Amino acid sequence: MGSLENHILISMPHLQDPYFNKSIVLICEHSNNGALGLIINKSFEKPQLKMLFNNIDNENEDILKIAPKLFFGGPVLIERGILLHSNSYNSKDSIKISDQFSITSSKKILKNINNSDSSKNYKLMLGHAGWTSGQLEKEIENGDWLMQSTSIDFVFNTNESKMWQIAAKSFGVELSEISGFGGSA
């Protein structure tokens, strides 16, 4: 299997894990050593944000004003913020993950992007998803995920509550009608 970077994973309906049920995951890194991705369609609700940031320094209040939506990027290192942004904003503090996307953990970049005249294509994430060597490939072979290339427009401009349905329907089938369990004849 080639690299899945710059692709999304669409979870299949039988995947009932609370983190990945109806998830869209942007793959940021994929190699023989494993994979790293960001769940891009699960935003935290406001009350959860307040509880999460209440006991942290006042600087975070400014971050929430700049990026009013905070996304659950995945269950790994949930306390760590990752900014996913388009490559229309360039910085030495960002890591280019594809021709379209970069990531960073620099708070300065979030403020700079918000103040710049360039595109405001970004999402602030807490945590990420990770797979060990061969784990993601096995999950794909088991039918847990569908793969698809993606675009800036889909990642940043599609309402996150509709992303899974839109991505699933792009295959021309109704995923809710597909069982993840095989039978025997």
Distance of CA 76 to the CA centre of its chain: 12
Terminal alpha carbon distance of the chain? 30
- CA 71, CA 78: separation in Å to the nearest integer? 10
pLDDT at 24: 96
pLDDT at 80: 84
Q: Which of 169, 151, 170 shows the shortest CA–CA distance to 40? A: 151
- CA 145, CA 176: separation in Å to the nearest integer? 14
Domain boundaries, the chain: 7-177
DSSP assigned state of 175: G
- CA 87, CA 160: separation in Å to the nearest integer? 21
The CATH topology of domain 7-177 is: VC0467-like (3.40.1740)
Output the pTM of the full model.
0.83
Which amino acid is residue 55, in one-letter code? N
pLDDT at 174: 66
Which amino acid is residue 154, in one-letter code? F
Q: What is the pLDDT along the chain (185 residues), one digit of tens a residue?
A: 567 877 999 999 888 888 999 999 999 999 999 999 999 999 886 555 545 554 444 455 556 566 667 899 999 988 888 889 888 877 888 889 888 999 988 777 777 776 665 557 889 888 999 999 999 999 999 999 999 999 999 999 999 999 999 998 887 766 655 555 443 44
